[in-house]
Amino acid sequence: MNQYAMVIDLNRCVGCHACAVACRAEWQVPVKEGWRRNWVHRLGPANTAHGISFTFYPGLCNHCDRPACVAVCPADPVDMTFTDAKTGQTKTMKVAATFKDPFNGTVQIDKTRCLGCGACRDACPYGARYVNTEVANKDLGGEGIADKCTFCMPRVEAGLQPACVQTCIADARIFGRKDAPEIAKYLKDGAKRLESANVQIGPNVYYAGAAKDLALLDATSTPKTMPEANLRRSLLAGLVRPARKKAEKVGMAGSLLGRLLAQEENKG
Q: What is the DSSP string of the chain?
A: ---EEEEEETTT-----HHHHHHHHHHT----TT--SEEEEEEEEEEETTEEEEEEEEEE----SS-HHHHH--SPPEEEEEE-TTT--EEEEEE-SEEE-TTT--EEE-TTT-----HHHHH-TT---EEETTS--GGGT-S-EEE---TTHHHHHTT---HHHHH-TT--EEEEETTSHHHHHHHHTT-B---BTTB-S---EEEE--HHHHHHHHHHHS--S--SSHHHHHHHHHHHHHHHHHHTTS-HHHHHHHHHHHHHHHH-
For residue 255, what pLDDT band results from cuts at 50, 70 and 90? Answer: very low
Relative to beta strand 205-208, strand 4-9 is parallel
Query: CA of 67: how far to CAs of 36, 42, 123, in Å?
Result: 19, 26, 9
Q: How far apart are CA 130 and CA 27, in angstroms?
A: 14
pLDDT at 252 exceeding the cut of 50:
no
Q: What is the CATH number of the domain that holds 190?
A: 3.30.70.20
Interval 145-186: pLDDT, tens: 999 999 999 999 999 999 999 999 999 999 999 999 999 999
Answer yes or no: do 212 and 247 share one domain: no
Q: What is the pLDDT of residue 228?
A: 80
* Domain total in the chain: 2
Q: Give residue 266's pLDDT.
A: 53
Q: Are residues 240 and 180 in the same domain?
A: no
Are 210 and 169 in a shared domain? yes
Q: Is residue 87 part of a domain?
A: no
pLDDT tens readout for residues 95-140: 999 999 999 999 999 999 999 999 999 999 999 999 999 999 999 9
- Amino acid letter for position 221: S
User: How far is residue 164's CA from residue 84's CA, in Å, rounded to a whole number?
Assistant: 24
Average confidence score pLDDT of the chain: 90
| Segment 210-221 mean pLDDT | 98
Together in a domain, 153 and 181: yes
Q: Do residues 185 and 156 touch, judged by C-beta distance below 8 A? A: no
Asked whether residue 155 falls in the same domain as residue 220, the answer is: yes
pLDDT-derived band of residue 254, with 50, 70 and 90 as boundaries?
Answer: very low
CA 86 to chain centre: 24
Give yes or no: residues 168 and 194 share one domain.
Answer: yes
Q: Are residues 157 and 222 in the same domain?
A: yes
Are 42 and 54 within one domain?
yes
pTM for the whole thing?
0.87
- The range of the structural domain enclosing residue 236 comes to 230-267
Whether residue 249 is contained in a domain is answered as yes
Q: What is the Cα–Cα distance from 147 to 109, expressed in whole angstroms? A: 7
Please check whether residues 33 and 7 belong to one and the same domain: yes
Angle 101-69-239 (CA atoms, 0-180°, nearest 5)?
115
The β-bridge partners of 43 are 55
* Residue 42 pLDDT > 50: yes
Question: CA-CA distance, 76 to 242, in Å (whole number)?
Answer: 11
Same domain, 168 and 186: yes
pLDDT at 262: 53
